[in-house]
Amino acid sequence: MASATPALDRLRDPARWPSWQGAPSDIRFSAPAPGVSVWTRGEVRESLEGSRGGIGLAIEPGGAGDPAGAALQRWRGEARWSNAGLRGRYAYVLWDADARRVHACVDPFRTYPIYHATVGDCLLVASDLRLILATGLLEARVSVGALYHYLNFSYIPAPYCAIEGVAKLPAGHALEGRPGATRVFKHWDAVYPADLRGSDEERAAELRQRMIEAVSGFRPAGETSWGTFLSGGTDSSSIASILSRSAAPQKVTSFSIGFAEEGYDELGYSRLAAQCFGLDARERKVGEADALEAIPRLVEAFDEPFGNSSAIPTYYCADLAAQHGVRLLVAGDGGDEIYGGNERYRKDQIFEWFHRAPGIVRGAGRVVAGALKGVDTRLANRIKNFVYRGSLPNPDRFYSDDSFASDHFDALLSDGFRAQVGREDSLDVQREIYRAAQADCNLHRLMYLDLKMTIADNDVVKVVRSSRLSGTQVVFPYLDPTLIEFTGRLPGSDKVRGLEKRYLFKRATEDILPVEIRQKKKQGFGLPVSVWMRRPGPFRDMVHDILFSPRATGRGYFQPGHVEHLMKRHERGAWDHASELYILLMLELWHRHYIDGQHG
């Protein structure tokens, strides 16, 4: 952390720093120049001599040399920052004390976060929100606007932050700070010129080669103990296949999670992949009791409320790796968003057909939906939902997948909460990103939106934080900017053609993946919370005890009667409200840990 304030002794206390398995306890302090104070812990790159210097974190592709170190030295010598040559994961804070200038940046997907706040003439920059609060310079006052975004998305998108007065650097952005002024600007972006021509076979062959180069380039070199996540889906399986070829004759170790509940377990596919690729496969099953045990740990792992329940299996998968001595995992995140594998893209094609259908067809749909207005069954609700969403343009239609608080605005939120936010505030966040996309078609604008939010603000945060809790680090080869820039040159029809997802990817991986995995239905890395909340048992009891406690209802955010309505509706199967109830659960637990005086 760098700031223009005298050393604050409270930051020397390791108890004020986030903890996880194997987290270093050594806190180092230095004051390298007048007006600059720096606290670091762990394997942080440092260049602290004189009035100009910097600190940073980086995990780079194997064989990349030391471009991150070179970037630090270039700043020391020339006060010039460039992301040229940087790949992988990185975050930096640089200063020029004579010029009274601070520069901070995060990589294209914010895999290392940076928080910043200005208090008087002091600029605070930190890698964790808890460190900002630990200075004592800023009151831990909740941002209601940020919580509204959380209730819609299950996470708080950058630049918003759960604490008033603090901001997060968005993915691919940098900060330039001077006395009285802070400027945030973009240093990398995904673009979609879609200008590649040639036959499908030629484009598939080039995509295959680019994938192999990206994945092989991220294979750890030397004696690093490493392995790979393996869900049995196309992304993790393609990475495992490519790694197994590049690592031969050494076996690649894979780690997989399964569930007892039917419809959630994919161990059959991960076992098929392990057999095909000759992997040293490790697996375990996660049950209801495991989820209950993990949730308090995950509350501590995330410095802001985080409501994606797949953090639970992610944590156990990384923990399984740690138990086998693995300290670095290769992950497949990003594949859906660059190859066209997200089920929402195919659904949106169907919605778009309805949206553009003749008026008589759309009118008939509205008549049917109107006739079902008072019917609260799952089938009736699906029909009404389809007609409603199909009548919307994008990105409003796409947003309606993540619009819990917007959809229940009047019934869910208290008068005091509604007075501080607008119903379309979260939708406006997506509208702005959608409009900013340098893209040739609707599909590419949606993929851009997903890269900026679903990946940078949700999936990456989930995987990095959950894995770090077990003492493991993660790299993401499918988020390599070079690969993303190439896929942006492929036409949208290479991603979704008709109703076929991953059209070109499937052809590019014909000799990389077995046909059973190439053609399998998308399942994701979900958790059976829907089942656990519906049936009697400890998980449902825990949700009831927390959401309907006097402590939770007394916060004044929600109308308790509506939360109870959602719970009862879920229990009788009229609609699946598990994700919304889990969002509320994790918000309350975050509040108790960070705001009610139980932390720090």
Q: To the nearest 10°, the Cα dihedral for 333, 265, 446, 586?
A: -80
* The predicted structure's pLDDT at residue 393: 87
CB 442 within 8 A of CB 352: yes
* The predicted structure's pLDDT at residue 599: 43
Q: 300-328, pLDDT tens digit by residue?
A: 999 999 999 999 999 999 999 999 999 99
Q: 460-508, pLDDT tens digit by residue?
A: 999 999 999 999 999 999 999 999 999 999 999 999 999 899 999 999 9
3-state secondary structure of 102: strand
* The predicted structure's pLDDT at residue 548: 96
* The predicted structure's pLDDT at residue 4: 46
Under-70 pLDDT residues of the chain: 1-7, 63-64, 222-224, 522-526, 598-600
Alpha helices in 335-459 (DSSP H): 335-339, 343-355, 359-371, 378-390, 396-399, 404-407, 409-412, 415-418, 425-436, 442-450
Q: What is the DSSP letter of 169?
A: P
* The predicted structure's pLDDT at residue 434: 96
* The predicted structure's pLDDT at residue 534: 93
The percent of the chain in helix, strand and coil, each rounded to the nearest 5, is: 45, 15, 40
Q: Beta strands of 237-368 (E only): which ranges?
A: 253-258, 280-285, 328-330
Beta bridge partners of 96: 52, 101
CB 340 within 8 A of CB 503: yes
Q: 61-76, pLDDT tens digit by residue?
A: 876 678 888 888 888 8
Give the global pTM: 0.93
Instruction: Please state whether beta strands 101-106 and 89-96 pair in parallel, antiparallel, or not at all (unpaired).
Output: antiparallel
* The predicted structure's pLDDT at residue 522: 61
Q: Which burial class, exposed, middle or buried, applies to 361 when counting CB atoms under 10 A from its CB (0-12, 13-18, 19+)?
A: exposed
